[in-house]
Amino acid sequence: MHRRSFLAGSVSVLAVPLAAAAQPAGKVYRLAILSNTARPDPSVATSATLVPVALRDLGYIEGQNLVIERRFADGKIDRLRAFARELVAMRVDVIVAVSEEAIQAAKDVTTTTPIVMGFGSDPVEHGFVASLARPGGNITGVLVVPAGQLTAKRLELLKEAVPRAARIAVLATNEATARTQLQEAQKAAPPLGVKLVVVQPQGTDYASAFGTMMADRADALLVLASVILNRDGQQIIERAAHHRLPAMWFWRGQVEVGGLMSYGTSLVALCRRVADYVDKILRGAKPADLPIEQPTKFELVINMKTAKTLGLTIPQSVLLRADLVVE
């Protein structure tokens, strides 16, 4: 892909409808969205907000032929199983589970209601499916990141973009995916000559989290791929700017609205794939027969305006590899 300026926000990418597929007349489908986070603002690009938009493009319109039951645990993981049990009792057609914790909760209460991962990271390791090619049960869906492959690369790119960074803060959560990424970062740090400062905010207390980073003299920030941190992305971006801390994100949408750089996949594209899985199941496909999809395309995105604001000169070796440059 050629490097080019990119200014559009992630939510607006779905504003132009795709060709809507006709649905059986009179049929009303029931979809559940189960998440470990708090209910997101409708304007924030998260899987909980983007999947319904993608489904609308496929002809499933909430309030007409689609009912969506949303359950958000607000960080209280122990609430997920009760929510999942409630959704199964409502006889929803599909549950979109937005995190390993949500997937586990849904798996614990049903072996028959289809569950679409939106997103997972290592479903075989967690015992959700028999294999990626042949899930074999009632769970299928989309992985957010291939296990063990991407966090080290993100840390390496951040160090290359900020060569002076000797201490890199890692913004983490207690989510299973975040713990896995943290382990990868800890293995990758010594060969890069950096010391990690791991910070896990208490709830949404990012003021204290950034206070800890600065007290520990962090030179840069690695934000782990997390539904919680994505939901709170704007607050994190603003605090990173205030403390003049160069930050590496997973989602390019965070760079489009002020983050410094990202290396990962497109949240919009992944949510479209989740919607495709829901569509296939509503049309009669069985989760056991739908191979789990892994992202294969990763983009390096750099916000040059943010770099200039931080007084940071991005090395040419990094710029030449960028897929998108926000001017």
**Is residue 123 located within the same domain as residue 236?**
no
Q: Read off φ and ψ for residue 103, nearest 5 degrees.
A: -60, -45
**Is residue 315 located within the same domain as residue 172?**
yes
Q: How deeply is 5 buried, as exposed, middle or buried, from its count of CB atoms within 10 A (0-12, 13-18, 19+)?
A: exposed
The more confident residue out of 18 and 55 is: 55
Looking at residue 233, what is its pLDDT?
93
Beta bridge partner(s), residue 117: 97, 141
Indicate if the alpha-carbon torsion angle 149, 7, 209, 44 is positive or negative: negative
**Is residue 159 located within the same domain as residue 308?**
yes
Asked if residue 5 belongs to a domain, the reply is no
Of 73-77, 161-165, 171-175, the range with the lowest mean pLDDT is 73-77
Asked if residue 253 belongs to a domain, the reply is yes
Give me the mean pLDDT over the 194-205 stretch: 95
> Band of the pLDDT at 25, cuts 50, 70, 90?
low
Q: How do residues 9-20 score in pLDDT, each as one tens digit?
A: 333 333 334 444
Full DSSP string of 98-158: ESHHHHHHHHHH-SSS-EEEEEES-TTTTTS-S-SS---SSEEEEESS-TTTSHHHHHHHH
Q: How do residues 34-54 score in pLDDT, each as one tens digit?
A: 998 888 888 778 888 999 999
**Is residue 161 located within the same domain as residue 310?**
yes
**Is residue 207 located within the same domain as residue 136?**
no
Asked if residue 62 belongs to a domain, the reply is yes
Looking at residue 325, what is its pLDDT?
94
Q: Which domain holds residue 97?
A: 11-143+267-289
Looking at residue 147, what is its pLDDT?
59
Asked if residue 6 belongs to a domain, the reply is no
> Band of the pLDDT at 78, cuts 50, 70, 90?
very high
Asked if residue 68 belongs to a domain, the reply is yes
Looking at residue 199, what is its pLDDT?
98
Q: The domain spanning residue 191 has which CATH number? A: 3.40.50.2300
Q: How do residues 133-168 score in pLDDT, each as one tens digit?
A: 999 999 999 988 765 668 999 999 999 999 999 999
Q: Which residue, 99, 66, 71, is CA-closest to 84? A: 71
Strands of 195-199's sheet in order across: 195-199, 167-171, 220-223, 247-249, 261-264, 299-303, 324-326
Looking at residue 37, what is its pLDDT?
84
The more confident residue out of 12 and 181 is: 181
**Is residue 226 located within the same domain as residue 137?**
no
**Is residue 43 located within the same domain as residue 191?**
no
Give me the mean pLDDT over the 93-110 stretch: 95
**Is residue 223 located within the same domain as residue 185?**
yes
* Number of residues that this document lists for the chain: 327
**Is residue 43 located within the same domain as residue 189?**
no
Q: Which residue, 119, 114, 132, is CA-closest to 48? A: 119
Q: Which residue, 228, 180, 301, is CA-closest to 35? A: 228
Asked if residue 177 belongs to a domain, the reply is yes
In angstroms, the CA 84 to CA 79 distance is: 9
Angle (nearest 5°) at CA 141 between 257 and 261? 20
- The yes-or-no verdict on residue 214 having pLDDT over 70 is yes
Give me the mean pLDDT over the 270-285 stretch: 96
Asked if residue 3 belongs to a domain, the reply is no
Averaged pLDDT of the chain: 89
Looking at residue 17, what is its pLDDT?
40
The more confident residue out of 145 and 88 is: 88
**Is residue 186 located within the same domain as residue 244?**
yes
- The yes-or-no verdict on residue 30 having pLDDT over 50 is yes
Q: How do residues 223-254 score in pLDDT, each as one tens digit?
A: 998 888 988 999 999 999 999 999 999 988 89
Give me the mean pLDDT over the 45-68 stretch: 94
**Is residue 47 located within the same domain as residue 84?**
yes
Query: How many distinct structural domains can be found in the chain?
Result: 2
**Is residue 134 located within the same domain as residue 40?**
yes
Looking at residue 146, what is its pLDDT?
65
- Residue matched to tokens 């937005």: 98
Strands of 66-72's sheet in order across: 66-72, 29-35, 94-98, 115-120, 139-143
Indicate if the alpha-carbon torsion angle 281, 287, 291, 292 is positive or negative: positive
Asked if residue 82 belongs to a domain, the reply is yes
**Contacts of residue 17, Cβ cutoff 8 Å, sequence gap at least 6:** 56, 57
The pairing of strands 220-223 and 195-199 is: unpaired
